[in-house]
Structure 1
């Protein structure tokens, strides 16, 4: 029996990973919500139902922890397996070591969920409402711990599978609140299915009294209700997303439109840093395309914005030929538009930053330094220098910028840059909204996810950006090296997108927004503490009443 549960949980965990962005082109079933590259909330719910059933059927607390950890291990490995590509293909790490590193990271993060499963086992026979509340609270605490402790790595949180189906909640409770509701639905459904008696009081613990006739204490629940609880989501969920997406309330006001040109160079990652291949190409292509984009804005007679991706030029500014800078900045000065470019900045004395530099026609400089750095990729955690020495990734030691940096003011908009996986941390983006007078009206993400090849990471990152747009009700434009270069409106809808792994320029018009969503308001003031305290309060209440 143990082997059967282990196999079922490994499969369920893998299915939950697939729910974040369906990776199969040939297995897309539109009628059931299976679209290539799109989230599948139904699969996420079914997978979590399997986990809850495994916990409540576990013979001991230790076995409940083991089952939850096994599920989480499969889910997390399936969510960010593409880290293997960066370490093996581009980092030069041997296959066993790269695979082992991904496995160990997932195993460590799975411990948060294993602890949650062990605690939830205490309520295995509680009423459905209690199980739903407790499981949601414990799951949320595990998600927040994974996303914040030891710099945090929240990639693959289950709320992203519901960027469409639960979009109406995003401006209020954010991704963790959406995940909490998904967890509650799974636990409540399983409790309704497996319990034969319905307690008269919601907080009353269900007690089964064995007898020769198989009777139980209390009255028998109708078998029709559990079946409906299972089959209604199966029938309705594929159509729920579009219906709810149209009912997201508008909580912000327009600040006018802005025309944007997003550049996607598609420089092969294994050539990007080569001085005779990738670097000369990037210098030439991005200079030419920036000039052409500025020409298009000049011809239209309206100021715009040109955005180049993260480390578009993989050199420090002082390492670039001054004649290149003269031509690049001179074209901006002769235009009526602004430019943002991702580029490393610094020197060996003061340290290095992963930055975005910006200029208006007055050549007044702007600089944003990445705040949330990637462990091992951008800074070396203590005692792990040996790991970096094994990888062949340049510029792996940055220093962070401050939290909540000022936006880039241009054309009546406040542009809020963020770099690569910083858009995973909605609470950190919300820090820029503490002063409403300088809150960003448009979010600008520059990224180079080319480290992870042509994988589902590109689709996953697009949905992460969509959810940030929904939480803050701000449009998000993304300029990337290989994809997803995309324009997203303040309701999380994709306006336009370049095909992945192609070279091109995407023109998109976005509408800036002012005002604060409830999520932006409370996350800017209190970070994620309201989520944590609410979960702890619910646990305390259930602990006393059970």
Structure 2
């Protein structure tokens, strides 16, 4: 008998041909990798880590030809990603909502399982298309999987009203890829992040140099685009005073503390004049008819005397059953302005159908607001047009771009008023600041932030934080702000450019697969 020595293959094995089902260790590894994505966002900000984690996930998805295997791995990775990025929601449910810790943990885990379905869809559908189209490894890792990863994040931003917090592109607000934000927005950056991750995964294959070249080219292109200024100064700068009252959340809606809150904001709002004085979300936590006589008139008189304009959060009601989370505006010539929050928070600001039993378990005031219009006019402040957005509305960049695109006199300055005291001393505040920076990059407009306990800040039209107040402290931020006009490609087209590019990538992958199938058919003849 002749013994033949087994030789190793000369090329790296195709990851699609390894394994058929995920092990418990594989699922745990995917979930841990997803959870570690938290480190790529603020306050840690290790954005290169995101390439590595997604690359690991892509490699694991590519290791099996089973659609079921890829789907389960995607679900585990998406679950970990969501739990890492949104774990702070438990603080609102337990500390301030009064929900027992066990039920709070269960609710957030269920939310994570739901969020994980989007990554599962991306992984499972990519693997199905790979088999259906007979795709080569590069087309799968660099075209199909990155595109569907980006589409899954986009879907997460609007399905069932959407919750796009911790979308991958946000980690790159200061990185080279931020140069693409004015063109394709945060979801387009997410696709590019995934392409870069695919390039790292391609290093396990024989042809490494093209992948390294593509990775370097994407980063270089992003850095080059960062040098382009898409918008231009509009009018004269305005002086602003942004207020951070630092009202503890357990006191904010307490009748016992209402008098102290009203005195604090009365004093802060009238401490010194400015072209624009802005207070946070529900700075005044009760309806106008519940205020002491003459309280709002104080601000109207101060505005007329000093020439100051006011914007501050206050709930406003048309009747007992129709009330909104609003921003009130007051001008020195007797101007009145109202902005009503359009994108409401499920369970916190509106009750989804069939879930009143769940919200009844929590002690959250003003929990069923009326939705504002999708397009609302900005507030004229001297030469500038100031458009408010309330709390997590600035997570929805497409809606802000839509308002800028459709409004006859588009805003030159954006203003976010927030109250993140619901989430304690967590990563929610630095992550929200990061999200606001992405909105300035997409629109080329400065963003002012007036918040209850952070991050009160001024961000210019290029995404640079010009000034901020320390978190969890009372204070006022004063500065001069230059408004910006003009349109970025993202304002003009919103997410359509990102979706069109994704469609082209999928079409290109299909053509490559078709060519491969044709070549195989000819070879077999």
- TM-score (normalizing by structure 1): 0.85
Deviation of residue 306 (structure 1)? 0.4
Deviation of residue 136 (structure 1)? 1.7
Aligned pairs for 1:257-296 (under 5 A) are 257-277=237-257, 279-294=258-273
* Secondary structure, counterpart of 1:363 in structure 2: coil
Is residue 46 from structure 1 mapped to residue 52 from structure 2 by the alignment? yes
Is residue 182 from structure 1 mapped to residue 188 from structure 2 by the alignment? no
Is residue 195 from structure 1 mapped to residue 195 from structure 2 by the alignment? no
* Secondary structure, counterpart of 1:398 in structure 2: coil
Match of 1:56 among 47, 51, 62: 62
The equivalent residue for 1:502 is 473
Deviation of residue 345 (structure 1)? 0.6
Deviation of residue 247 (structure 1)? 3.3
More divergent stretch after superposition (10-19 vs 454-463): 10-19
Deviation of residue 329 (structure 1)? 2.2
The equivalent residue for 2:439 is 468
Aligned pairs for 1:445-524 (under 5 A) are 445-523=416-494
In structure 2, distance between residues paired with 1:319 and 1:284: 15
The equivalent residue for 1:89 is 95
C-alpha deviations, 1:419-458, integer Å up to 9, x for none?
Answer: 0000011110012222475110000010001111110000
The equivalent residue for 1:209 is none
Is residue 316 from structure 1 mapped to residue 283 from structure 2 by the alignment? no
Structure 1 residues 150 and 70: alpha-carbon distance in aligned structure 2, compared to 1, 3 A threshold:
same
Q: Judge conservation of contact 2:287–2:314 (CA < 8 Å) in 1.
A: yes
Q: Judge conservation of contact 1:267–1:481 (CA < 8 Å) in 2.
A: yes
In structure 1, distance between residues paired with 2:225 and 2:308: 34
Deviation of residue 99 (structure 1)? 0.9
Match of 2:404 among 433, 440, 457: 433
Is residue 10 from structure 1 mapped to residue 21 from structure 2 by the alignment? no
Is residue 325 from structure 1 mapped to residue 296 from structure 2 by the alignment? yes
Q: Judge conservation of contact 2:349–2:367 (CA < 8 Å) in 1.
A: yes
Q: Judge conservation of contact 2:139–2:512 (CA < 8 Å) in 1.
A: no
Match of 1:155 among 154, 157, 165: 165
In structure 2, distance between residues paired with 1:468 and 1:51: 28
In structure 1, distance between residues paired with 2:299 and 2:481: 25
Q: Judge conservation of contact 1:356–1:369 (CA < 8 Å) in 2.
A: yes
* Secondary structure, counterpart of 1:405 in structure 2: coil
In structure 2, distance between residues paired with 1:91 and 1:435: 38
Q: Judge conservation of contact 1:413–1:441 (CA < 8 Å) in 2.
A: yes
Structure 1 residues 246 and 170: alpha-carbon distance in aligned structure 2, compared to 1, 3 A threshold:
closer
In structure 1, distance between residues paired with 2:183 and 2:226: 13
More divergent stretch after superposition (162-171 vs 321-330): 321-330
User: Where do 5+ consecutive residues of structure 1 fail to align?
Assistant: 22-36, 197-220, 298-303
Deviation of residue 129 (structure 1)? 4.5
Q: Judge conservation of contact 1:339–1:360 (CA < 8 Å) in 2.
A: yes
Deviation of residue 15 (structure 1)? 1.4
Q: Judge conservation of contact 2:389–2:414 (CA < 8 Å) in 1.
A: yes
Is residue 144 from structure 1 mapped to residue 154 from structure 2 by the alignment? yes
In structure 2, distance between residues paired with 1:246 and 1:189: 23
Q: Judge conservation of contact 1:167–1:248 (CA < 8 Å) in 2.
A: no
Deviation of residue 257 (structure 1)? 1.2
Deviation of residue 128 (structure 1)? 1.8
C-alpha deviations, 1:163-222, integer Å up to 9, x for none?
Answer: 1111211111110111110011111321x22223xxxxxxxxxxxxxxxxxxxxxxxx4x
- TM-score (normalizing by structure 2): 0.88
The equivalent residue for 2:12 is none
User: Where do 5+ consecutive residues of structure 2 fail to align?
Assistant: 1-21, 514-525
In structure 2, distance between residues paired with 1:439 and 1:173: 20
Deviation of residue 227 (structure 1)? 9.9
Q: Judge conservation of contact 1:193–1:226 (CA < 8 Å) in 2.
A: no
The equivalent residue for 1:442 is 413
The equivalent residue for 2:40 is 19
